[in-house]
Amino acid sequence: MTRSRLLLCAALLTLTACSRREEAAPGLPWQRIDLWQLRPQAEVLPGDSKWLRPAVQTIGFLGAEEVRDMTRVPASQLRAFPRRTAGQIRVLEQVAGSRLKWRLKIGTDAYFSFIPLGTQKECACQWRFGVRDAGVIKVLFEAQAAVVDPFAAAVAEVDLSPYAGREVDLLLQLDAAPGTLVAVPGRGLPTALVGSPALYQRQALPAPAPVATTGRPNIVLIGMDTLRADHLGAWGREPSLTPALDQLAAESDVWLDAFSAFNVTNPSFASILTGLYGKNHGVYDLQTPLPAAHTTLAELLQGAGYETLAILSAHHLGDHNSGLGQGFQEVTLAGEHFAGELAVDMAIDWIAARDGKRPFFAWVHLFDPHTPHTPPQPYALGFRPANAGGLDPVRAWVPFRQPGPRDFEEPVLGGHRDLYDGEVAYLDRQVDRLLGDLQSRGLLANTLIALVADHGESLGEHGVLYRHVGLHDTTTHVPLMIRWPGEKRTGQRIRGLVQSIDLFPTLVKAAGLAVPAQDGIDLRELTGDGKTGRRAVFAEHAGKLGLMARTAEAKYILSAGNTRFFPDGASLYDLQADPEETRNLAGQNHPSEQRLSDLLRRWLAERRGVAAPVNPREPSDEEKARLKALGYG
């Protein structure tokens, strides 16, 4: 990271910490005006061409298109592992020498938010953002357009509250150094990239939103990708990375001992959305769609009158591969992988457009903790928001580690433990924004929030870096919590083994519907009234490369065909004496080995008579390359 980027980040930290008033207007819902979709007017253009477009809308990246230092990637890996990008966001590519204008009426507690991503065309440029009020322009923010970094610049949040109630011009100007406004053959005029431009403000709703008459709650399922339970403050991570999720946990039922049914994304979400183990739904990879004969959560809810939305932040989770579009009226799929802010922006906009006459179900899938680890600044430097703030701008930042830049320690995949933490902290901020929007609209009174991860991640344990292979707790122990409807709630921390498949019957019953036959058990039945959860939990490995049975005391794993990472055969761990699973006791006459082996054998033999999955779809060369870039294969 360059010194200038560090100084810019420090300046933005100061801006966001000090430029806003401390008190927000209570009782007014937030309104987000996406200035990317609301095309700006061209007030100033370079030269005299009236046909020049001052800004182009595109889906770009929260960072660089290739985030690795390619000099560190072994030559033998260059062809096998194609480019690795930062997450996708909405980007305006602004031409140097232009001024963009949006004329808007400013509401209460308003602020302008954008990410000064920088330039890919060697633009010696500087942004100036200002407001024209009654013909007078006041510059409120300035930043240099540096070369786009793998770790994007911090978001700029510029206070507009002094202009509340007035119609003004928002102006974004990109100035170029004298003599540099020259078109380069094949590249055109120099440009710079503006990420996620938006106006946030509090506004009274035009009319009270109708209340759904079905008596059924709205349901928001936040599916976190590659998120380990032990990296959340509610599970004991200190210092905490996640003030928003910690606050959510304080208002939720939190199942501390929850385990995924799989170690990869598509099969895991197939289990979550059907309540079925893989042995019964048949999806073991990233190309086999869930058979249409299976009934998904979305299908049940849509049949009961719910409006349904899925925002899928990883391309390989799309319906073409997963079959999980069943029951969703709208599915938004990433071209590669969304950054969390884009997925949350889409969810906020969709929820704002509901009329309240019908309950809604939104599955919001967030991908960010997955490799490559590219959190934007200041998360990449080791800072996170001091507190949960909803859609308020961040007023203060605190370190969660010794601050400073980090380079990838695993250059092929683009991974670093500290940058993984930064991704988790960034993800927490995005969930904070979504929850803040729901709260400001008064929707928490009738909305159930369920949060679960599909799987965890290995951060060096068992000799594995930044891959979720194997069935150890690092890849199967996941966060799971439910905030039940109500304005103010006090949650509880619940011990006892449960599984991610148990969400399915829990949510179906919460919607007042009959639960079809499946493998899950309502979480309230499992752990309520003094009950202590499941006797054992089970998981299967992608590609049918392994099985796992786990009790509170011991874990038994059978591995077959996964020799790139683990030898074939059995592994047994005494979790009381060896919670890190470092000493394999298999074959040493440990009393639990035969018991768990028999338990796993009986579990595997119990099958449901369901339709077999279709043959895996053969991915295109482009899709194969995309999956390799994420560490699959």
* Number of CB atoms found within 10 A of residue 285's CB: 17
pLDDT, tens only, 484-516: 999 888 999 999 999 999 999 999 999 999 999
More confident residue, 86 or 120: 86
Q: Are 195 and 339 in contact (CB under 8 A)?
A: no
Q: What is the mean pLDDT of residues 88-97?
A: 95
Task: Give the amino acid at 212.
Answer: A
pLDDT at 33: 97
Q: What percent of the chain has pLDDT over 70?
A: 88
The mean pLDDT of 359-370, rounded to a whole number, is 97
Phi and psi at 570, nearest 5°, equal: -95, 150
Average pLDDT over residues 261-275: 98
pLDDT at 496: 97
Structural tokens at position 120: 């890919």
User: Does residue 208 register a pLDDT over 90?
Assistant: no
pLDDT given at position 46: 85
Domain-by-domain residue ranges, the chain? 3-202, 218-373+408-531+609-629
Q: Check pLDDT > 60 for residue 18.
A: no
pTM for this one? 0.93
Return the CATH number of the domain spanning residue range 218-373+408-531+609-629.
Answer: 3.40.720.10
Is the pLDDT at 549 greater than 50? The verdict is yes
Q: What angle do CA 474, 477, 480 make, to 5 degrees?
A: 145
Give residue 252's pLDDT band: very low, low, confident or very high (50, 70, 90).
very high
| Average predicted confidence (pLDDT) for the chain | 90
Please state, in angstroms and rounded to a whole number, the distance separating the CA atoms of residues 202 and 233: 30
Percent of the chain with pLDDT over 90: 80
| Cα–Cα nearest to 274, from 302, 296, 291, 299 | 296
Task: Report whether pLDDT(8) > 80.
Answer: no
Q: What is the CA radius of gyration of the chain?
A: 25
Interatomic CA distance for residues 58 and 78, integer angstroms: 27
Fold equal for 3-202 and 218-373+408-531+609-629: no
CATH (residue range 3-202): 2.60.120.260
Whether the Cβ atoms of residue 384 and residue 403 lie closer than 8 Å to each other? no
* pLDDT confidence of residue 23: 42
Give the residue, 529 or 121, on which the prediction is more confident. Answer: 529
pLDDT at position 1 over 50: no
Give the 3-state secondary structure of residue 26: coil
Q: Which two tokens stand for residue 593?
A: 């080995």
Q: How confident is the model at residue 198 (pLDDT cuts 50, 70, 90)?
A: very high
Residues 432-471 have pLDDT tens digits of: 999 999 999 999 999 999 999 999 999 999 999 999 999 9
Structure tokens, 618: 């053969």
pLDDT at 17: 38
Residues 35-49: pLDDT tens digits? 999 989 999 888 766
Interval 526-538 mean pLDDT: 94
Nearest 5°: the CA angle 533, 226, 366 is: 105
Above 70 in pLDDT, residue 237?
A: yes
